[in-house]
Amino acid sequence: MDFTDRYVLITGASRGIGKAAAIAFAQKGAKVGINFRNNEEAAKQTLAALPGEGHRLFKEDISKKEGPKALINDFLKSYGRLDVLVNNAGIFLRHGIDEIDFDDWTDAFEEIFKTNLFAAANLSYWAAQAMMKSGGGRIVNVSSRGAFRGEPNAPAYGASKAALNAMSQSLAKKLAPHKIYVGVVAPGFTETDMGTQALTPEEEERLLSESPFRRMAKPEEVAHAILFLASEGAEYSSGAIIDVNGASYLRS
């Protein structure tokens, strides 16, 4: 896979899966835009970890209504074109229906959907406008195993990722004639802040036991699938959802 002279924007790249993807794209020659929300120190560390030159930080809260347009505009101002958008940023909040009151329930749905679905939808909109003008591009969306098998303690999270899958497949059909290819990576439990902080020790033990690997995914393993979907030669995989879950949940 070669991304020399490709301009790649990754949301939520200060940490976790986004950071691993930023490093992987840079190792293959891409110029990488690292978006983050407020963790400037971590974002600077990601920037410092990237091989090559020309990478940049883009601080923007993409859950805000104007965030996605501002982010794509800033990226285009810096680089002149956008070849790959990775909608990776996401949040996970625990909100079990038997644990919280109604206000917290509705707040959880609103907050999670704003980041996990609406931001990806709005970024895809503005990215697609730019890619249609420049003759094509790739969009890779980071979903979750939870879209398929349920998230008992975070139903809005599971629902947001199922919606992200459906949106991605709709866009894959609509955008292929414009040479814009849309793919999805659906990780299972992954070694990041989100993966390690959201669960009780009992839940962590149970989840680990579900995979024959008996371990979490490494962020680099998820990044590998992201790069594949964004690469030359993967065009006909547009619309695909690649599971990276250590055979813990197998869909037919």
**Inter-axis angle of helices 155-175 and 119-134, nearest 10:** 20
Taking CB under 6 A as the criterion, the residue among 25, 36, 118, 148 binding ligand NAP is 36
Among 9, 17, 225, 229, binds ligand NAP (CB under 6 A): 17
C-alpha to C-alpha distance for 173 and 224, rounded to whole angstroms? 24
Q: Is 28 in the site for ligand NAP (CB under 6 A)?
A: no
* Of 187, 114, 195, nearest in space to 145 by CA: 187
144 binds ligand NAP (CB under 6 A): yes
Contact residue for ligand NAP among 192, 226, 243, 248 (CB under 6 A):
192
Residue 32 pairs in a beta bridge with 8
Contact flag: residue 113 with ligand NAP (CB under 6 A): no
168 scored as a contact of ligand NAP (CB under 6 A): no
Tell me the window of 33-41, 75-83, 147-155, 235-243 that interacts with ligand NAP (CB under 6 A): 33-41
Residue 194 is encoded by which pair of tokens?
């989100």
Q: Looking only at residues 207 through 236 of this chain, which bind ligand NAP when binding is defined by CB under 6 A?
A: none
Binding ligand NAP (rule: CB under 6 A), the pick from 1, 29, 42, 44 is 42
Residue with tokens 């956008």: 82
Angle, vertex CA 99, rays to CA 96 and CA 104, nearest 5:
80
Measure the CA–CA gap between 118 and 115, rounded to whole angstroms.
Answer: 6
Q: Applying CB under 6 A, does 95 fall inside the site for ligand NAP?
A: no
Per CB under 6 A, the segment of 29-37, 102-110, 123-131, 224-232 that binds ligand NAP is: 29-37
- CB 246 within 8 Å of CB 217: yes
Compute the least distance from the CB of residue 177 to ligand NAP, in Å: 28
Q: How far apart are CA 20 and CA 159, in angstroms?
A: 25
User: Which residues are at the interface with ligand NAP (CB under 6 A)?
Assistant: 11-18, 35-39, 42, 61-63, 88-92, 115, 142, 144, 187, 189-190, 192-195
